[in-house]
Structure 1
Amino acid sequence: QYPKGLGRSDDRLLELIEEDKIFAKSLFDAAIPEVVDFIEKKEIKKVLVVGAEGHVCIYQTVRSLLDMGLEVFLVEDAVSSFTEDLKATALSSLGQMGAVLVNTEMVLFDIARDSKDPHFKFISNLVKSLR
């Protein structure tokens, strides 16, 4: 986001992200040169997208990521917009453009893949608390 105009991100997120991986942006599209460079250097092929505003920043970012040839997974219950109608329109449009619409529970169990995964119990309890 644009810290100068909007303030820093939530402290809970900032605790999890290295400072040199945080990029300020004034564009609505988060696929700014620093992010595109990171994606290319790391040879990233698949991206999970969450955030706000679904009908503005998420919409423009997902379009850019799709244009880059990336497989984009849009986590619909982790996207917000000013209204549910704005969000629904953005999700529908982006799904038609090729983004894969998923939800948080799908993503979490996809990460674990197996009940023998060492993180499965944590994920399972997290999902139960979200329900």
Structure 2
Amino acid sequence: MLIEARRSRLVLVDLQASLYAAMTPRPPNFLARIQLLVRAARLLDVPIVATRQYPQGLGPLLPELAAALPPPIPVLDKTTFSCCADDAIGAALAGERDQILLAGIETHVCILQTALDLRARGQVVYVLADACASRSPADHDQALWRLAGEGVRQASVESTVFEWLRTAEHPRFRELIREIRDLPKAGPGA
């Protein structure tokens, strides 16, 4: 099944400065991939929901992400690990868009629990593996393995953007292909 922009909703889970700092080592170009994903979603009219885990203790969203998410994109606070366990977030994820794409922190906690809850609700769930992170690479890998076994699909940021576009004739193709080409390919996470 292809990922379709008209069926997608992007959920950015707990991309907060203090959590981001704890991701060592980060996946290569992690923040750049998140920013590309947000720009593509905005250009292609894919709704975005962002969450913050206990912001009183874990702080605000990454400044780079907060700047890319102007209102009316909701930023919803939670103390639950699964986004679905919070009533307001669960309601924001309901609706006619049945492909839910997850990116954020941490793969083996909030991403995993949210994905499994969404799958149980009958939604098609994609974890964007190169846009998720855990403090331990082993935890990240184990979570991806478990999610695959539970029927949760995985994709990459770049493949998602190309699936949203579907064709080089899409009016946003030239703009997004430049951003994809500009995405650093190697080096430590930034």
Question: TM-score scaled to structure 1, two decimals?
Answer: 0.91
SS at match of 2:82: coil
Change (3 A) 1:61 1:119: same
Amino acid at match of 2:87: P
Deviations 1:2-30 (A, max 9, x none): 21111111123223143671211111112
Asked if residue 5 in structure 1 is aligned to residue 57 in structure 2, the reply is yes
- Which residue matches 1:38? 92
Pick from 74, 78, 85 the counterpart of residue 25 of structure 1. 78
Q: Percent identity?
A: 27
Deviations 1:71-95 (A, max 9, x none): 0011000000111111000001001
Structure with greater contact order relative to length (CA < 8 Å, sep ≥ 6): 2
Q: Name the CA distance, whole Å, in 2 between partners of 1:37 and 1:115.
A: 35
Asked if residue 122 in structure 1 is aligned to residue 168 in structure 2, the reply is no
Shift of 1:120: 0.7
Structure 1: unaligned runs, 5 residues or longer: none
Q: Name the CA distance, whole Å, in 1 between partners of 2:177 and 2:73.
A: 32
Q: Name the CA distance, whole Å, in 2 between partners of 1:71 and 1:85.
A: 25
Q: How does 1:66-77 map to 2 (within 5 A)?
A: 66-77=119-130
Q: Which runs of 4+ in 1 moved over 2 A?
A: 11-15, 17-20
RMSD of equivalent CA atoms? 1.5
